[in-house]
Amino acid sequence: MEHLQAVIPAPSEKQAMDWSLVLTSQGIEHGIERDADSLRLVLCLRPEDRPRAIQAIRLYERENRPRRWIQPIKAADLLLDWRALAALVPLPVLFLFTDVADLHELKERGLMDGHRVLDGQWWRLITAMTLHADVAHLAGNMTTGVLFLGLAMGAMGAGRALLSSLLAGVGGNLLALLVNGPEHRSLGASGMILGALGLLVAHSWQQWHAGEARGTLWPRALGGGIFLLLMLGASPRSDLAAHLGGFAAGLLLGMILAFWQLRVLPSPRADNLCAWAALASVTGAWILALRG
């Protein structure tokens, strides 16, 4: 091992073993020795390989850092990401502005209006998801939203799930416009939230396809998702087309994400970009709504 002159000290024996596996996976020749002075384990490698080894270790540590906002639900073998609460904060904030502060013009600028969407105000497909008719409507979407969106974020990554759910909600509003025509007017985040439910159903397909779950998981998850869709989104006063479209779009996007994740290791950087894209979409849509 005379040619392995460079060293990387490890904070603990466990991390030395973990880092050794990382370097092995990257094809970096190395060895493990105990430093005579500190008695710590160090990774020994060729000097020219040291920058690449440090980069590989940094990526590994970033991807495996503790996630304090994510808690396991052991009975369901799922993770609940409590950052869904932060993602849904705009809903009560906008409700306070539009209803409590009696700024109904703001609501009129953002709600889903078929005629105005067809006239080019496409941003209403997004802004309508942040508005609610009353306290009961808001409370229902907040409670189911934290559950479905939080579970989808825990399963597929916070940014990917948030952006996919938002796009699913847009898909639901488009289907509602197609079914109901230009006279259609609506508001609410139900399409986006049921889109998150569709993502969860797709995640069960990913587990089943990867052999991580029994063969009955996928049909049971699909049946359960459809049951929840009918129970939560098929009341006489609800926008059934938007709910159905949101669920179907979430299921489709989730299948695409699952298919991709089975072949490519998800990148934390890509997940962060998706989160920023979702934030930029909502912010930009409201800027256009206020200018229009």
End residue of a domain, out of 20, 48, 63: 63
Q: State whether 74 and 119 are in the same domain.
A: yes
282 vs 285: CA distance, rounded Å? 5
Domain presence at residue 120: yes
Q: State whether 138 and 170 are in the same domain.
A: yes
Split at pLDDT 50, 70, 90, the class of 190 is very high
Q: What is the pLDDT of residues 125-154, one digit of tens each?
A: 999 999 988 888 899 999 999 999 999 998
Residue 190 among the catalytic residues: yes
Q: State whether 257 and 153 are in the same domain.
A: yes
- pLDDT given at position 75: 47
Q: State whether 272 and 176 are in the same domain.
A: yes
Q: At which residue do the structure tokens 């890509």 appear?
A: 270
Q: State whether 53 and 124 are in the same domain.
A: no
Q: What is the pLDDT of residues 260-272, one digit of tens each?
A: 765 555 677 888 8
How many C-beta neighbours within 10 Å does residue 165 have? Answer: 35
Q: State whether 153 and 13 are in the same domain.
A: no
Domain presence at residue 1: no
- pLDDT given at position 162: 95
Q: State whether 145 and 17 are in the same domain.
A: no
- pLDDT given at position 278: 95
Q: What is the pLDDT of residues 195-242, one digit of tens each?
A: 999 998 888 877 666 555 556 667 777 888 888 888 887 777 778 899
42 CB contacts (<8 Å, ≥6 apart)? Answer: 7, 8, 9, 10, 16, 32, 33, 34, 35
Query: Does residue 17 surpass a pLDDT of 60?
Result: yes
End residue of a domain, out of 43, 63, 83: 63
Of the residues 30, 137, 184, 243, which is catalytic? 243
Q: State whether 146 and 81 are in the same domain.
A: yes
Residue 203 among the catalytic residues: no
Q: State whether 203 and 91 are in the same domain.
A: yes
117 vs 280: CA distance, rounded Å? 20
Q: State whether 190 and 214 are in the same domain.
A: yes
User: What is the domain-level CATH number for residue 193?
Assistant: 1.20.1540.10
Of the residues 132, 190, 203, 204, which is catalytic? 190
User: What is the domain-level CATH number for residue 51?
Assistant: 3.30.70.1530
Q: State whether 150 and 267 are in the same domain.
A: yes
Query: Does residue 175 surpass a pLDDT of 70?
Result: yes
Q: What is the pLDDT of residues 98-133, one digit of tens each?
A: 776 566 788 888 999 999 999 999 999 999 999 988
DSSP state of 192: H
Q: State whether 74 and 137 are in the same domain.
A: yes
Count of the separate structural domains present in the chain: 2
* Domain, as residue range, for 119: 70-291
Q: What is the pLDDT of residues 49-103, one digit of tens each?
A: 888 888 888 888 777 766 666 656 554 567 788 889 999 998 998 888 877 656 6
